[in-house]
Structure formats: structure tokens, C-alpha cells
Homo-oligomer: A and B are copies of this chain.
Amino acid sequence: MENLQSGYLFPEISMREFEHTQKYPDAELIRLGVGDTSQPIPDIITSAMAEQAQNLSTIEGYKGYGAEQGNTELRVAIAETFYKNTGVKGNEIFVSDGAQCDISRLQMLLGSNVTVAVQDPSFPAFIDSSVILGRAGKFQKETSKYGNVVYMNCSPQNDFFPDLQTTPRADIIFFCSPNNPTGYAASWHQLKQLVEFAKSNGSIIVYDSSYASYISDPTPTSIYEIPGAREVAIEVSSFSKFAGFTGVRLGWTVVPEELLYSNGFPVIKDYDRIVCTCFNGASNIAQAGGLACLSRQGYKAITSVVDYYMENTKIIYEALTSVGLKVYGGKNAPYIWVHFPGMSSWDVFNKILEKTHVVTIPGSGFGPAGEHYIRVSAFGHRDCILEASMRLKTMFS
């Protein structure tokens, strides 16, 4: 753990927010930093959770331990809702308390003696938990990279998809699409390349599709849309951003039966053992909420919240574009990725905070290729989004 370079990014940002409010107690701070949902959960879903909670006080309704892997009904509903025509079955779905937690359980599964590749930039839990498990070499100040880790550069120059011809082999490839922070969703052809690359190298892809519900382009929402993916990929996903469950905590991981270790042993059996030994199932109340999300009415209600956030995204995107900034993302995820060539991410972050009281996230927090960028989250209330867009427009005009 000594090898970790700094505190985890998101609490670090919350700390900066807090310090700023201490410095400017009267300023109206707008938080477009941490990607935290802001809109209420549709009543049909909260009612299902309230009912489940209340049932626990009755003899007939009381439930103790559930299956560690999740309620069967929910597992089947996830398979049917998100994995139609991909061959994913309910028994391959492991319901959890969220994607970040699942990534750690996968890290335990995969052990310390593996090499990893990550998109650069990407969600920092991938690399930080790899460092904690002792897989990474020392941090190199000159490159801002850990040793023994493959950084797959994703930038406008390569259409935010790594050049796999020059990418060294790694045992595990963490791949997040739509990507957090760039908002970029890989195309079918790109993912096909990725699957073939993994197959030819004997690598396992850990595919994070937590933002898949925000995809508007005709591009895959799951890695399992790619032929052969069931033999090389684990998929991690979540109700957090899809249904505003960031505080309720619910997610899932898919481990296909065809995914085997090189000795032919099914990975799903080991993951099942990890889930039974290191986890005890997601809260039964959260699971009742998850099931309600996947009902016809629940799904419809959630879709309108997703649309709301994407409308927010459009507002910020247009504001920043209108003042001539180089803006990426914003089409398939509620994140805007803004380029400030030649400027340090943390400097830009600080300047924006000082001048506009708007919190963003410095891109370098997501990896060295995030330097010169900031990420702007559109998960806010509409009035905050409008106000922040105006302030940013004024600052940059």
C-alpha cells in the first residue's frame, strides 16, 4: 500500500470541495466533480424497497440470509433486460453491492501474480486496487506511471481506442465502455479487435459497462454482443448510474461458463467461491429495488431520469463548445472531457474552482493521459447545470 501515490481520487476531490466552502462560505458551490446522481429515484422503485423493508417486520415476510449470488428472480431479470440474445443466463449473474466492490472481489480472484493493462485514462479503482494487491512496480515520477502496468493510451489521436498492434500482452485487461472519464463508447469493430486481442494472448477482459444505459450511438451496450466474448470476458455493471442507486448500493458481475483458466477450470466456479467466502449477498431491500427497476413501468421511469441527465450533458457540451474549447465525450455518457492543451489539469481545476465555484475533476487523476484535461459531470440538478454552464461560458469567453 505504501506504493500508492496519493489518496483515492474521489474523496480527495470531496476534501477540496470542503476546503473551498471553508474559504468561501458564502459562495454558491456547484458540484460537477464526483459523478454522483442527484435526481430522486422513481416512486415505483422506492415503494418496492419500502415494502420489502416493512415486510421484514412480519413473520411471513421476514427473510434472513439470501443466496450470496443474489435472488434468482433478479438474476434472471438482469440477464433478460441487459443481455438479450447474448447467451448470458441468470446463473452467470452475480448480484452485488456495486461495481467498485466487485472489482475488488475480482482482484482477489485474480490474485497478486498477474499482469494488468488499463485504459489511460480510466476509473482509478482498477489501478489502485491492482497496486494494493502488489501487482504494480514502483511509481515512476517522470512518466506518472506504475511499473509493470500496461497503460493503453486513449486519446483523440486514436479515436479513444488503444492501438492493440503495439499494446504489450497482460493477463488482465480492464476496459471501461462507455469510458469514465472520457465518455467514449467503443464501437462494435473496436470491441471485436479487443476480444480477438485477448483471445490470441490468453488474457481475461474485465469489462465495465456501468454507463451502458447512457449510450445513444448504435454501439454495443455489452461486451457479450461480440462473438467469442464469452470465452474471454467478465462484465461488471451497476444500478448506481442507471437508476440513481449510488447510495442504495446494487450492481452485478457476469462470469460466463465458457470462461476457463488455461488449465481448463471454469472461472465461474472460483468466482462463486469468492462471493460465498468474501461476500454475503447484496441487501435484500436493495435487491427488491433492483427488481422493480427492471419491471416495465420501473424501467420506463428510469429511462426518463437517464434522458434528463443526457439533456444536462448536452447543455454543458454546447456551452463549452460555444466558447471554443475542445470538448469530447457527452454522447454516450454524462461526462464531458475538456482539453486544455499545455495546461496542467490541477491548475485548470483550481482556476475554475476559484473563479466560478464550480467543482470539476482534474483529468490527470484518471491516469497520465488525462493530463491537460478536466472531466465535467452532468449528474446535477438542471438549475445547477444551467448556472454552471453560464459561469463557465463567462470565464472562457
- State how many angstroms separate the Cβ of A92 from the closest Cβ of chain B: 17
Contact digits for A208-226, partner B, Cβ 8 Å, 1 yes 0 no: 0000000000000000000
Q: Which residues of A194-218 have CB atoms within 8 Å of chain B's CB atoms?
A: none
- State how many angstroms separate the Cβ of A78 from the closest Cβ of chain B: 18
- State how many angstroms separate the Cβ of A109 from the closest Cβ of chain B: 7
Partner-binding segment picked from A93-101, A149-157, A324-332, A356-364 = A93-101
Give the CA-CA distance A97 to B81 in the complex, in Å: 27
Residue of B41, B101, B248, B283 near A278 (CB, 8 A) is: B101
Give the CA-CA distance A101 to B279 in the complex, in Å: 5
- Is A37 in contact with chain B by the CB < 8 A criterion? yes
Contacts of A40 in B (CB 8 A): 56-59, 61-62
Cβ of B50 and Cβ of A64 under 8 Å apart? no
Cβ of B4 and Cβ of A273 under 8 Å apart? yes
Partner-binding segment picked from A124-132, A175-183, A308-316, A333-341 = A124-132
Give the CA-CA distance A327 to B286 in the complex, in Å: 40
Contacts of A384 in B (CB 8 A): none
- Is A295 in contact with chain B by the CB < 8 A criterion? no
Give the CA-CA distance A292 to B109 in the complex, in Å: 36
Question: What are 7 inter-chain pairs, A to B, with CB distance below 8 A?
Answer: A2-B265, A11-B68, A42-B57, A46-B55, A50-B51, A103-B278, A132-B278
